Structure 1
């Protein structure tokens, strides 16, 4: 049994992972990452899970990397271990969605960016404060943020360390949708349910295709899609028969 810093709840075809240090605003420590990494390892082998949602307990998603841990010289298992953990999560075969409410700063934003996309509550606030503390990113900010919002916008956010709200996050393309906080739980469940109802085979194949061709020239990507196409899933005929009424 895993600890309680990241809690897993199994839902109908999907999993909810919750960062669970609400008394510390879910500040991220090595121990939090260690539990997240263990859940990711389990999910990689979970053929019955078709969607994962990552969120925070209590008032927010996460206030970011625990500054007390940084100041005390936290013991990291290996160089790049945090970044490697997030890449392992990003490469899970099923869609991984960050559901952000309240604070989502710096290290927490790096975690959210390692998910396939972000949905935000209307009280969400974002920011990259590395420059405020004389720090530099090592969990992926310099790579994922410009891919999500564009290089110039990423530079503005990283250079100013400005905080911004959910509406601005939607405007710049950081998040995909914004929902009222009082509907957040139901919207998370509805979105994950819609994704889980679709083919896990297609989800995994699509993620591999998108990852392999990200940033390629169009013709190269089109050629990859043709040559590396993974075909149809094992339940294709059953799904079509059910839709057409011939599977009853």
Structure 2
């Protein structure tokens, strides 16, 4: 039986592939169990310096499987999905959501738990909680306004409108849009560039950004000065490799 989330390892980076292409990668409890297991392993894997999350087949994911919801969807604990996405968000290495095709509701919540979204030009985004008389419990109400602003988040949540990649880029939901024909190549090139940089800096920068998000500027500046982790163990080697001069 094929895994519901497939891990693919490359030189310095890994890819988690949501793998229910016949169901447009709709998200179930069992799929989240596999996703969580991969996240937990990646956290301690020092060989991996960047993680890409993407979908198999035609799209990233059409969202939460409505059939799973209708069947009662037994979860291990209250808030378990949200907790899983927080684990993804707190991985001590950059995490990219590589989105092509559908990215709706629960799928958008997964993408928002990544550090940023790289979108193919055929990507479409939307939040349909209100269409089904649901309210978010995976993080939409917290991460979406932080990404796009409160007014844009309300518009998307109230209308349930689908937006294309160009609109996602305009409002700051997607960080970059590339042609679908070049998507795989661009995802790989981006992951390689990130993986080439210091894992110490990636870990320290994520901690710094998370700790100071939404703080007043002066408080954030003070935190940066007092809590900065300074130079990493690979600093001298990296500078020596660049300058050719040994200290």
Partner SS, residue 184 of structure 2: helix
State the alpha-carbon separation in 1 of the partners of residues 127 and 234 from structure 2.
43
Residue aligning to 2:46: 47
State the alpha-carbon separation in 2 of the partners of residues 139 and 231 from structure 1.
34
Q: Is the contact between residue 86 and residue 139 of structure 1 (CA under 8 Å) also seen in structure 2?
A: yes
Partner SS, residue 96 of structure 2: strand
Q: Is the contact between residue 52 and residue 192 of structure 1 (CA under 8 Å) also seen in structure 2?
A: yes
Q: Which has the higher mean CA deviation after the structures are superposed, 45-54 or 142-151? A: 45-54
Residue aligning to 1:135: 134
State the alpha-carbon separation in 1 of the partners of residues 234 and 43 from structure 2.
20
1:91-102 map, 5 Å = 91-102=90-101
Deviation per residue, 1:201-235 (Å, 9 max, x gap): 00000000000000000000000001101011111
1:1-248 map, 5 Å = 4-246=3-245
| 1:3, distance to aligned residue in structure 2 (A) | 6.3
State the alpha-carbon separation in 2 of the partners of residues 17 and 244 from structure 1.
36
Deviation per residue, 1:166-215 (Å, 9 max, x gap): 00000000000000001000000000000000000000000000000000
Distance 1:47 1:3, change over 3 A: farther
State the alpha-carbon separation in 1 of the partners of residues 176 and 17 from structure 2.
20
Q: Which runs of 5+ in 2 are unaligned?
A: none
Partner SS, residue 222 of structure 1: helix
State the alpha-carbon separation in 1 of the partners of residues 153 and 245 from structure 2.
51
Q: Which runs of 5+ in 1 are unaligned?
A: none
Aligned length: 246
State the alpha-carbon separation in 1 of the partners of residues 97 and 13 from structure 2.
14
State the alpha-carbon separation in 1 of the partners of residues 13 and 245 from structure 2.
28
Deviation per residue, 1:23-58 (Å, 9 max, x gap): 000000001100000000001111121100000000
Q: Is the contact between residue 51 and residue 195 of structure 1 (CA under 8 Å) also seen in structure 2?
A: yes
Deviation per residue, 1:62-103 (Å, 9 max, x gap): 000000000110101000000000000100000000000000
Deviation per residue, 1:100-148 (Å, 9 max, x gap): 0000000000000000000000000000000000000000000000000
| 1:246, distance to aligned residue in structure 2 (A) | 2.6
